[in-house]
Amino acid sequence: MNLRQMEVFHAIMVTGSVTAAARLLNVTQPAVSTVLKHCETQLKMKLFVRVAGRLQPTAEAHAIFPDIAAIFGRLEAVGRLTQDLSGGRLGTLSIAAAFPIANGYLAEAVATFMSARPNLRATLQSLTSPQVLDRVINREVELGVAHEPVVSPAVETEVLVTTTIACVMRKDHPLATQEEVEVTDLSPYPIITYLPQVSFRPYVDRAMSAANVAPTINVQISIAITGIMLARYGAGVALVEPALVESMSIPDIVIRPLAPRIEAKTLMIRLKDAPQSKAMKDFVTHLKAQVRKNHSH
């Protein structure tokens, strides 16, 4: 039996008549009868007999029906699956992001996106910005979110948000009483900031030298959360990207903007010319909306 013959046989078995089968398959009644006749000729056996004007399945028809019903059950499942995929409800989101992003607003965006799509699966890796770029280039993830600079001909980038370096300190710190902190105000205090190899550090150094400040950097860190916790326990003022404090509400800590502002862009990174899944397209839209909402507060 070919698939068309199976389809006609299945429709007659399910509906109980040629007329109803034709309606179900959206074809004419003679078309159904012709396919059935060819099928019976080919199989050299009867599948239906007429009893008192009604079509009755033969013992042979009953014997093959369970296997054919199983095939159409699978076809329906495939249909549902493709609908879910095209609706972005299924599939896998694979994302890599810089530590503060992955553990802050990106985690929130993934969680809220998935709560409306119970069949979606995700991987979210939290790494350094250079590692994020690496994962995208090696096709280990579909989307990377990292801080600039991102330099590679293999990828395309889009600015997601402009981040700022701020002062994070204990709420009993002398500078905590100020609405904003001038870079020159930092001179007398111990500073916690990024290691020279971290992408944010050059921004901090440039701001310091522009203000003619030679800071006492007593602790250097690789990720913002370490600086934030050091500041919380009194090691000094942390000059870090403060998104994690905002999303985690760490106690005893305040954030004060720096003047002049130290700004850096956060970029979405995708492989050039790589097709994007429907789920990822929808997620990027959701992420942008989430970031806009968080930054408008």
Mean pLDDT of 104-108: 89
Q: Is the pLDDT of residue 149 over 90?
A: no
Across 37-185, the runs of DSSP E, i.e. the strands, are 48-51, 54-57, 92-98, 121-127, 143-147, 155-170, 181-182
165-204 tens-digit pLDDT:
999 999 999 999 999 999 999 999 999 999 998 888 999 9
Lowest mean pLDDT among 34-48, 81-95, 107-121, 161-175: 81-95
pLDDT tens column, 8-39:
999 999 999 999 999 999 999 999 999 999 99
What's the mean per-residue pLDDT of the chain?
Answer: 90
Q: Set out the domains of the chain in order of their start, with CATH numbers.
A: 3-86 (1.10.10.10), 92-161+265-296 (3.40.190.10), 162-264 (3.40.190.10)
Three-state DSSP at 104 gives coil
- Provide the CA 3 distance to its chain's centre, in angstroms: 38
The model carries a pTM of: 0.62
pLDDT over 60 at 89, yes or no:
no
CA distance 5 to 9: 6
In this model, does residue 273 exceed pLDDT 70?
A: yes
**pLDDT exceeds cutoff 90 at 78:** no
